[in-house]
Amino acid sequence: MSVVSVGRDRLGSMAVKKTLIPWSSAKPAPVVMISGGESVLVRIAKDRIVSAARKQDPEEIEIDAAGYQAGELAMAASPSLFSSSKLIVVDAVEKCSEDFLSDALAYLDAPNDDAVVLLLHSGGNRGAKLIKKLDSVGFPRIDAAVLKNESDREKFAHTRFKTAKRRIDEAGMAALMSALGSDLAELNAGVDQLIEDTEGTITAEVVDQYYGGRVEATGFKVADAAVAGDAKNALSLLRHALSTGSDPVPLVAAVAMKLRGMAKVQGFSGTSGELASELKMAPWQVDRARREVRRWNEVALGQSLIAAAEADAAVKGGGRDPVYAVEWFVSEVARLARQR
């Protein structure tokens, strides 16, 4: 039996539903599905499975489930004179033909232990019967669902660093998320670069050397200064960002995001870990928001959120001068921060 085989005892029961396996644990099996539409996670999981499977020097075959013709899967997975093992990658299972669905369901009853059939399903209801049987039979399904919030993207980054046996401290992670946390592809590329180009613990200073000039990072620096009541520094950072081509829209968004985070934690008790899960924030975001909101009174924070809504509308076409709107907003936040 191949090293990628799943025991026949797992195939004997159709009653147990398996949970999704995280992308970081993806490995070959006679049949394995990557399920979800997050392209970064799909690529990482696929690379892990393919790289491991290639150690058996398999014959590699690609199948398009959308244009599938009856019998293709059985033919591709059958023993070959060219190689004792097979690696079959099936794309677009979410668009599969009826012939593929029928053949795949039948294949699950008697898979070739010397083959790895990798199914790629980006989401949707098509192929639901196949997914249900895959789970029941006990073959793995890899979770590659879209990461919708920053907390999940931060966990992704932590996992990448942990897998690479690299340490990033809390301030370094906060700086990285400020710079790249809104886009998983950019965050993943940033993690790759920091792993490859640096040594030792990754700190905020290290991250700033690489990504301190990003619009997101600049916006959060403006936000930090504004909510601290440091109008001079906030406006200086803002004008530098605008002079180097930054758009007012993400700059307003960065300040508004910080204010909303402060508003979320205001009045809540409990540990940062407990609140992080409830409020869809990272623990470090909860801790920082709590520290910052202590300097504010409730009325001033409410007024700042109203100012954020007005500035957002103004920079998105509702005002005559977006630059004036963002400068007014930052000045107003700094002024309100100093009220006691």
230-283 confidence digits (pLDDT tens): 999 999 999 988 988 888 998 999 999 999 999 999 878 888 888 887 887 878
* Contact between 156 and 181 (Cβ < 8 Å): no
Average pLDDT over residues 173-201: 93
- Phi and psi dihedrals of 31, rounded to 5? -135, 130
The reported pLDDT for the residue numbered 81 is: 72
3-state secondary structure of 244: coil
Q: Quick check: 298 pLDDT over 90?
A: yes
The reported pLDDT for the residue numbered 274 is: 81
Q: How many CB atoms lie within 10 A of CB 36?
A: 22
Q: How far is CA 310 from CA 198, 299, 322, 332, in A?
A: 42, 17, 11, 12
CATH class of the structural domain 215-337: mainly alpha
The reported pLDDT for the residue numbered 316 is: 93
The reported pLDDT for the residue numbered 276 is: 82
3-state secondary structure of 15: coil
Q: Quick check: 4 pLDDT over 80?
A: no
The fold for domain 21-143 equals: Rossmann fold (3.40.50)
The reported pLDDT for the residue numbered 157 is: 97
**4-8-12 Cα angle (round to 5):** 140
212 or 97, which is more confident?
A: 97
Average pLDDT over residues 70-79: 94
Domain with CATH 1.20.272.10 in the chain: 215-337
Percentage of the chain lying above the pLDDT 90 cut: 73
Q: Which residue has the tokens 């520290």?
A: 291
Q: Quick check: 5 pLDDT over 50?
A: no
- pLDDT band for 18, please (50, 70, 90 cuts): low
Domain with CATH 1.10.8 in the chain: 150-212
Could you tell me the two tokens for 140? Answer: 């793995």
pLDDT (tens digit per residue) in 155-183: 999 999 999 999 999 889 988 988 898 88
The reported pLDDT for the residue numbered 275 is: 85
Q: Measuring CA to CA, which residue among 183, 261, 258, 190 is closest to residue 221?
A: 258
pLDDT (tens digit per residue) in 123-150: 999 999 999 999 999 999 999 999 988 8
Average pLDDT over residues 81-85: 77
Chain mean pLDDT for the chain: 90
Q: Quick check: 86 pLDDT over 90?
A: yes
Q: How far is CA 130 from CA 60, 109, 135, 141, 199, in A?
A: 23, 12, 9, 11, 45
Would the pTM of this model clear 0.85, i.e. be above it? no
Average pLDDT over residues 302-307: 97
Task: Taking each helix axis as running N to C, give the angle between helix 322-337 and helix 231-243, from 0 to 180 degrees, rounded to the nearest 10.
Answer: 160
The reported pLDDT for the residue numbered 19 is: 65
Domain with CATH 3.40.50.300 in the chain: 21-143
The fold for domain 150-212 equals: Helicase, Ruva Protein; domain 3 (1.10.8)
147 or 5, which is more confident?
A: 147
Q: Quick check: 32 pLDDT over 90?
A: yes
Q: Quick check: 213 pLDDT over 80?
A: no
3-state helix, strand, coil in the chain (%, to 5): 60, 10, 30
d(CA 43, CA 49): 10
Longest dimension (CA), the chain: 81
